[in-house]
Chains A and B, each alone.
Chain A
């Protein structure tokens, strides 16, 4: 009824090719932005920021990054944890080497360093595909974690091998360290997420995205019609790693504050982000958000319901959590193999015709 194109006339090509061509969608998007930027920072507290919103925002950035590589360009990667570690350690080295530089620049540079590392590990993708590439990126995962554990230069020769985020600011507002206010850390991550999402959305809609998708759908055909696989695959690795590096830097500096590479950026992190995009929907920006929200919020909700409200023993709740999340993942994959994004798409299609489906 209200969700329809009728009456929404486009008079220019720019109007016609905008991200949200339907008026209702557009307004919804503006409302979400307005709430996220204008309302949430005023009501947020430590628990909300540190337990729910920061991990959600940061995982969403990582999921967008991985989605570009796996969902749009079809290059399976299991090295996400390792690339996040690159972002985190790059950020740490920059933060400690240049204490007076703004955190914004550090995080962006950390993303840049990760992009270079990503391209390096993306080189084998020119020769190998599918499962073999997954194994090659898996090697990257283990190699990078081993490297950060092994070479003391990366953790500034600290006795324990941990890296700790010192207090750093942006325009005088503390962003990292224990004294950072919840709203500041939240906004800082939100700004990065918004920038990354807009950038990713527009990249995937343009020429670059089309070449990625051509490679994904059939690389030989793409090559014949003039897509340069070298350029397409390496740009996908670069952009994807850039986002993942930003996510890793934020994960370390803003969210956790202290990181031990083997525990935080291990193989399970790679799988977690991969599950996010599979559940959310491959090749969809919205899917990255939905997947991140699903896997970050659901365990917390189950814990709050089980342990805090119903008063069940914590170990039973923790085990139930695994069972329920696992069952839901299987259910989703059976009922909707294309993820939450496809559910959303179907719902929109239905809504467009509602209440007259014929």
Chain B
């Protein structure tokens, strides 16, 4: 009872908090738990970009941006708590960085009228904006990833994969299961054999999966992993001497954290990506000047320039650009969540705009529309160089197999629409 009283007092104090004055970008981060290695750099990048905007430009359109961090630990229950505690603060857009939390928030954010951006994760069929009004997953989604990987393999093998064997090592959760449907379609189309090998959370134990790979000798291995699972998989692949150049991870399996523990043996490991790697961009000069050297970097400040830091930065950049667009549409600097949604839906990223922001060639050019919340689905491939400890882009951003993905998205989203009685919204 005492505890209850204490919480009553506390939340009363919270409810009487600051009035809306800033543009609030909640960051449902995870700096603890088995997935922290991926969560920390992303959260740092996300926060640092907004710090940069505040320090250099005085915010977005003159209104300062405020990042509220809430620790989810990649746990859905804590994710719910975080969502409920931040949504009242004028949250503009949610980026939960967890497919599990995304599934939970899709109906909630839609009911509350707050947009959610799941960049390269979440529910793939959210690309169909006709059904998912408040969920965005530009610039690329898992099915693009699956198709991108197969396209890359086709290219490497002279356009023919028939008779080859492709293994998928996946995190046994909603996240890991996402690509299976697309890969099945693609295997029928291109005539390769697909072997799916689930790895249970958190993924430290993969001996049997890799034993099976050793036995079945697949020509290529794809991986949908996250957190500690990636490191273990790369290590296990090295242990059975699987050729690294035939091992391709999704973008969540391609950061420094995943390959460094295996050392030299990880050389040649490949990963998909939808943005560029490294810190060789003009924006980083400003970032160093205004944020890092000024001692305002989020977290320990040691993640600058890593793959996932760049991704957090990219996510923040897209959110800021959408906010600018929203200010332009509504003619009001102090936008709300509904304006933000309209801004996201009208977002258009061009090469020129990226260059202007100090990030030339950092990500693909794409545009969002009412029907298409997923962008133009361009996927590139990066490769790890263990000697120099760097990732480098080895295949430019190329388009994926829309003939296969399009019908799957229509099928899945219309199933969701009929389950939840959602009518067509666009046109």
Asked whether, in the complex, the Cβ of A301 is within 8 Å of the Cβ of B3, the reply is yes
B177 adjacent to chain A (CB < 8 Å) = yes
A342 adjacent to chain B (CB < 8 Å) = no
Tell me the nearest residue of chain B to A167, going by C-beta. B420
A166 adjacent to chain B (CB < 8 Å) = yes
Q: How far is the CB of B104 from chain A (nearest CB, A)?
A: 5
Query: Given known contacts A262-B173, A307-B71, A318-B32, is B412 in contact with A294 (CB within 8 Å)?
Result: no
Asked whether, in the complex, the Cβ of A178 is within 8 Å of the Cβ of B110, the reply is yes
Tell me the nearest residue of chain B to A261, going by C-beta. B173
Asked whether, in the complex, the Cβ of B4 is within 8 Å of the Cβ of A297, the reply is yes
A263 adjacent to chain B (CB < 8 Å) = yes
Q: How far is the CB of B250 from chain A (nearest CB, A)?
A: 15
Asked whether, in the complex, the Cβ of B107 is within 8 Å of the Cβ of A177, the reply is yes
Question: Which A residues are in CB contact (< 8 Å) with B29?
Answer: 314
Asked whether, in the complex, the Cβ of A293 is within 8 Å of the Cβ of B104, the reply is no
B200 adjacent to chain A (CB < 8 Å) = yes
Q: How far is the CB of B371 from chain A (nearest CB, A)?
A: 21
Asked whether, in the complex, the Cβ of B88 is within 8 Å of the Cβ of A47, the reply is yes
Query: Given known contacts A294-B3, A304-B11, A315-B31, is B420 in contact with A263 (CB within 8 Å)?
Result: no
Asked whether, in the complex, the Cβ of A308 is within 8 Å of the Cβ of B14, the reply is yes
Q: How far is the CB of A170 from chain B (nearest CB, A)?
A: 18
Question: Which B residues are in CB contact (< 8 Å) with A48?
Answer: 11
Asked whether, in the complex, the Cβ of A160 is within 8 Å of the Cβ of B174, the reply is yes
Asked whether, in the complex, the Cβ of A260 is within 8 Å of the Cβ of B103, the reply is yes
Contact of A315 (CB < 8 Å), options: B32, B177, B198: B32
Contact of A300 (CB < 8 Å), options: B7, B103, B124, B420: B7
A10 adjacent to chain B (CB < 8 Å) = no
Which of A177, A179, A318 has the largest count of B CB atoms less than 10 A from its CB?
Answer: A318
Tell me the nearest residue of chain A to B29, going by C-beta. A314
CA distance A167 to B70 in the complex (A): 28
Question: Which A residues are in CB contact (< 8 Å) with B77?
Answer: 55, 256, 264
Question: Which A residues are in CB contact (< 8 Å) with B6?
Answer: 301
Per-residue CB proximity of A161-180 to B under 8 Å, as 1/0? 11010110000000001110
Query: Given known contacts A256-B77, A262-B172, A293-B4, is B70 in contact with A314 (CB within 8 Å)?
Result: yes
Asked whether, in the complex, the Cβ of A256 is within 8 Å of the Cβ of B104, the reply is yes
A298 adjacent to chain B (CB < 8 Å) = yes
Question: Which B residues are in CB contact (< 8 Å) with A221?
Answer: none
Q: How many residues of B contact A (CB 8 A)?
A: 54
Asked whether, in the complex, the Cβ of B76 is within 8 Å of the Cβ of A263, the reply is yes
A208 adjacent to chain B (CB < 8 Å) = no
Contact of A51 (CB < 8 Å), options: B40, B85, B123, B198: B85
Q: How far is the CB of B241 from chain A (nearest CB, A)?
A: 31
Asked whether, in the complex, the Cβ of A179 is within 8 Å of the Cβ of B111, the reply is yes
Question: Which A residues are in CB contact (< 8 Å) with B11?
Answer: 47-48, 304
Q: How far is the CB of B381 from chain A (nearest CB, A)?
A: 24
B254 adjacent to chain A (CB < 8 Å) = no
CA distance A305 to B40 in the complex (A): 22
A335 adjacent to chain B (CB < 8 Å) = no
Q: How far is the CB of A47 from chain B (nearest CB, A)?
A: 4
Q: How far is the CB of B266 from chain A (nearest CB, A)?
A: 27
Asked whether, in the complex, the Cβ of B4 is within 8 Å of the Cβ of A160, the reply is no
Tell me the nearest residue of chain A to B36, going by C-beta. A315
Asked whether, in the complex, the Cβ of A159 is within 8 Å of the Cβ of B181, the reply is yes
Asked whether, in the complex, the Cβ of B4 is within 8 Å of the Cβ of A262, the reply is no
B426 adjacent to chain A (CB < 8 Å) = no
A112 adjacent to chain B (CB < 8 Å) = no
CA distance A52 to B76 in the complex (A): 14
Asked whether, in the complex, the Cβ of A304 is within 8 Å of the Cβ of B76, the reply is no
CA distance A282 to B182 in the complex (A): 50
CA distance A249 to B14 in the complex (A): 32
Interface residues of B in 3-21 (CB under 8 A from A): 3-4, 6-7, 10-11, 13-14
Query: Given known contacts A256-B76, A298-B3, is B123 in contact with A160 (CB within 8 Å)?
Result: yes
Question: Which B residues are in CB contact (< 8 Å) with A162?
Answer: 100, 103, 174
A210 adjacent to chain B (CB < 8 Å) = no
Asked whether, in the complex, the Cβ of B31 is within 8 Å of the Cβ of A318, the reply is yes
Question: Which B residues are in CB contact (< 8 Å) with A319?
Answer: 32
A309 adjacent to chain B (CB < 8 Å) = yes
Contact of B71 (CB < 8 Å), options: A51, A52, A315: A315
B188 adjacent to chain A (CB < 8 Å) = no
Contact of B108 (CB < 8 Å), options: A178, A259, A266, A313: A178
CA distance A248 to B81 in the complex (A): 19
B84 adjacent to chain A (CB < 8 Å) = yes
A5 adjacent to chain B (CB < 8 Å) = no
Per-residue CB proximity of B72-116 to A under 8 Å, as 1/0? 010111001100110110000000000110011011101110000
Asked whether, in the complex, the Cβ of A256 is within 8 Å of the Cβ of B110, the reply is no
CA distance A159 to B88 in the complex (A): 33
A257 adjacent to chain B (CB < 8 Å) = yes
CA distance A46 to B84 in the complex (A): 7
Q: How far is the CB of B105 from chain A (nearest CB, A)?
A: 9
Q: How far is the CB of B99 from chain A (nearest CB, A)?
A: 8
A102 adjacent to chain B (CB < 8 Å) = no
Per-residue CB proximity of B404-427 to A under 8 Å, as 1/0? 000000001000000111000000
Q: How far is the CB of B27 from chain A (nearest CB, A)?
A: 9
B55 adjacent to chain A (CB < 8 Å) = no
Asked whether, in the complex, the Cβ of B108 is within 8 Å of the Cβ of A149, the reply is no
Question: Which A residues are in CB contact (< 8 Å) with B4?
Answer: 293, 297
Asked whether, in the complex, the Cβ of B31 is within 8 Å of the Cβ of A309, the reply is no
Question: Which A residues are in CB contact (< 8 Å) with B398?
Answer: none
Asked whether, in the complex, the Cβ of B200 is within 8 Å of the Cβ of A257, the reply is no
CA distance A294 to B87 in the complex (A): 26
B348 adjacent to chain A (CB < 8 Å) = no
A303 adjacent to chain B (CB < 8 Å) = yes
Query: Given known contacts A177-B107, A257-B107, A263-B76, is B69 in contact with A314 (CB within 8 Å)?
Result: yes
Contact of A318 (CB < 8 Å), options: B73, B178, B421: B73
CA distance A263 to B78 in the complex (A): 12
Which of A47, A256, A298, A305 has the largest count of B CB atoms less than 10 A from its CB?
Answer: A47
Asked whether, in the complex, the Cβ of A164 is within 8 Å of the Cβ of B172, the reply is no
Interface residues of B in 152-167 (CB under 8 A from A): none
Query: Given known contacts A161-B177, A305-B10, A317-B71, is B80 in contact with A51 (CB within 8 Å)?
Result: yes
B201 adjacent to chain A (CB < 8 Å) = yes
Question: Which A residues are in CB contact (< 8 Å) with B100?
Answer: 162, 258, 260, 263
Interface residues of B in 111-144 (CB under 8 A from A): 111-112, 123-124
Query: Can you name 17 A-B residue pairings with CB atoms under 8 Å?
Result: A47-B11, A51-B81, A160-B174, A178-B108, A179-B111, A256-B77, A257-B104, A258-B104, A260-B173, A266-B201, A297-B7, A301-B3, A307-B71, A308-B14, A315-B36, A315-B71, A318-B71
* Chain A residues engaging chain B, CB cutoff 8 angstroms: 46-48, 50-52, 55, 149, 159-162, 164, 166-167, 177-179, 255-260, 262-264, 266, 293-294, 297-298, 300-301, 303-305, 307-309, 313-315, 317-319
Extra inter-chain contacts (5) besides given A266-B201, A300-B81, A308-B85, CB under 8 Å: A159-B412, A160-B123, A260-B76, A301-B10, A314-B70
